[in-house]
Amino acid sequence: MRRVDEAIRQVLGDAVAGELKDPRVGFVTVTDVRTSADLRHARVYVSVLGDREQRDATMAGLRSAHGFLQGKVAAELHLKRTPTLELYYDDTTDRALRVDALIDEIGQP
């Protein structure tokens, strides 16, 4: 399953970086992909550089490009069943920044 997840992540990362022409989509990194055991669904986690407004616009752009991204996965990977992509914002970076801020706050006299 890891090999399929990594292959999907690579295909989507390349497609978002080079082929997606939606002006709403900013700087995006596909951070993780988790497919279900039956390959019917794939959760795609993305990180977006920018503020909340840019993140919301980018996520809307990615969701509108769902069919294009689904087609790229189907065309390049030739899987028996192409998983339905579900896009999620990866908030790991946001949480890490919040923890750093709390640590700094505790350290202040």
Q: How far apart are CA 93 and CA 95, in angstroms?
A: 5
CA 30 vs. chain centroid, Å, equals: 4
Query: Is residue 12 within 8 Å of 33, Cβ to Cβ?
Result: yes
Q: How far apart are CA 43 and CA 89, in angstroms?
A: 10
pLDDT at 49: 87
pTM, two decimal places: 0.84
Written as six digits, the tokens of 23 are 């002006």
pLDDT at 74: 94
pLDDT at 96: 82
Mean pLDDT by 10 residues, the chain (109 residues): 92 91 90 93 93 91 94 92 93 83 80
pLDDT at 22: 87
pLDDT at 28: 92
pLDDT at 92: 82
Angstrom CA distances, 82 to 14, 50, 77, 78, stand at 18, 31, 9, 8
> What domains lie within the chain, and their CATH numbers?
2-107 (3.30.300.20)
pLDDT at 109: 62
